[in-house]
Structure 1
Amino acid sequence: MSKKRISITDIAKELNVSITTVSFILNNKAKGKISEEVIKKVQNYVKEVGYKPNQLAQGLRTGKSNIIVFMVEDISDAFFSSISRLMEEKAYENGYKLLFCSTENDAQKTRDLVQLFKDRQVDGYIITPPSDFEEDIKQLLQEGQPVVLFDRYFESIDVSHVIIDNMESTFKSIKHMVEGGYRNIGFVTLDSSQSQMVDRLNGYQKAIDLYDLKSNVLEINFKDLKNKKTGDQVEAFLNKTQDLDALFFATNYLAKSGLRVLKKLQVAIPSQMGVMSFDDSEVFELYSPTISALSQPIESIADKLMEIMLKQLNMPDGKEKIIYAELPGSLVVRESSYKP
């Protein structure tokens, strides 16, 4: 038989004090109102019986759950999981718990999750929003919810966000490949209107225009990633544009699919095909030859996201202070981006 959960009422009855007294002590509001003797007595008893407060009920009473939700397209992705781990530490140090989940870049799933978190009285939302989610973000802001967007943003909404300088980072990556001896550089990206993907494509095009090179772009539907059709599309792209001597991948998961194709086709890197990816991965260090990448500043991203969210949560007047943060990426040059 399961042990009955101890309530505040049980504690008050056992110690012959009021429920209000117990509540004040448990919520750190007893100083100056209740004697030190009673405070100590309640604290010792709570520790002895291992009392744990019902967070949902506590949140409904106070309107504060001390929970921040981190919503990303895929929490298993190394980039997102690394950031969430660092944010979790920062949140805990400031009295908050971090709850994270995957949206699969699906607007309806994201809406369902937001509604669930509203019901749980979470205190703030850090979101990598899918397409067609502008109105939902506006609704959260109208309700006075602390919101920080991450990795991408909507130009139509004045909301705090933390992003990478995607355009300049991609531009300097393509520039590096040109200086490494490549002239026919293909760009493999997602078929997406999201700001980060648009900016990466613009950065590629800016470099191509600067050096008066030919533009070769493959756009892959996000749904095809689940169906594992990415490799087939990369292979078809290579067959169609046989003069390519380099590939730049707009995400590391696209790069991993592309590397499998190049290995299957026995294409030699870097002599026959230069390779580079936006967003580094441990896999690229282990691959032979090692793969060059544009590295995103994970620690700086995590720090900035929590800094902005905590500022919003601590605003005494409840008004959101809008903060835009655009962080630089850094080139990690390895063996794959220089012609021998």
Structure 2
Amino acid sequence: MILEETTTTVEQSFIEEGRRVVLTEAQAVLSLSEQIDKRFAKACELLLQCIQNQGRIVIIGMGKSGLIGRKIAATLASTGSPSIFVHPAEASHGDMGMITSNDTVIAISNSGETEEIITILPLIKRLGVPLIAMTGNTKSTIANCANVTLNVHVDKEACALGLAPTSSTTVTLVMGDALAITLLDARGFSAEDFALSHPGGRLGRRLLLKIDDIMHKGNDIPIVTQSACVKEALIEMTRCRLGMTAIVDENQQHIGLFTDGDLRRALDHNINISTTPIREVMTAGGRVIEKGLLAAEALRLMETHKINGLFVVDKNRHLIGALNMHDLLRAGVL
């Protein structure tokens, strides 16, 4: 008999508290949508103008707000909006030099009264730099000095004591995401642009790597002429270990291919591999792909047609390369 696991009182308490936190923060995020208004649009206009003027979006914030600010700056930068984080306390001791007159500053402070930010407000104003406040107190000192104030007020923190920044930091992060993605859309930022900012990641490999970078070339291309016999094609296919060989005419133009599957079908008909011409059992034509295309396009073609390899040709169908699914896997495209 299998005994069902029972939930203890302590475990149930953990579950209920965890769910309460999630629901509290989820409700705070839902309420934030009401703050996406003309002020948000104005903030986006200022940030877009900053980028167009070759400026950067400078994020400042202390404590947990600073940690959220770092994440917002990273998201902006990775989506094509140049951005840096400047610690406001360090700004008072020399780092103000990181802010230029072409920049726009986003000051994050839940209370709107963070001393380290208030200290450098006169310097920001002296530079003539637009200031966007992201705060839960729209009547605060920082809000009153800002060109635009984005309201990230929450009714309550998820912390049972109402003290630890939880709902407020989540809402602030979401507001930052809203700015970043809105700017991304306004600038026509593409998936390829994103990949250029992430060349080391899987997306970068999928979107930037070209067939030419991973295909087999020269003597590593399995190839026989149409006058060869099946045995010769089989030897060539075994030599290159790609599970296929290309068939070319006298002008080296690709006219077909011979695969493991073609071999099995040929053997079912009891052919003589030493005398049967390859042109009688090959797959005429076959799927090919042109050089210069992205490796991701080769993957899509293979998946669509349920094939494991492709030959690469130029515009005149001259054979110049070969690749299979294992090549895409090793390159991180798959």
> With structure 2 as the length reference, what TM-score do the two structures score?
0.31
Greater radius of gyration (CA): 2
Q: Which of the pair has the greater relative contact order for Cα pairs under 8 Å at 6+ separation? A: 1
> With structure 1 as the length reference, what TM-score do the two structures score?
0.31
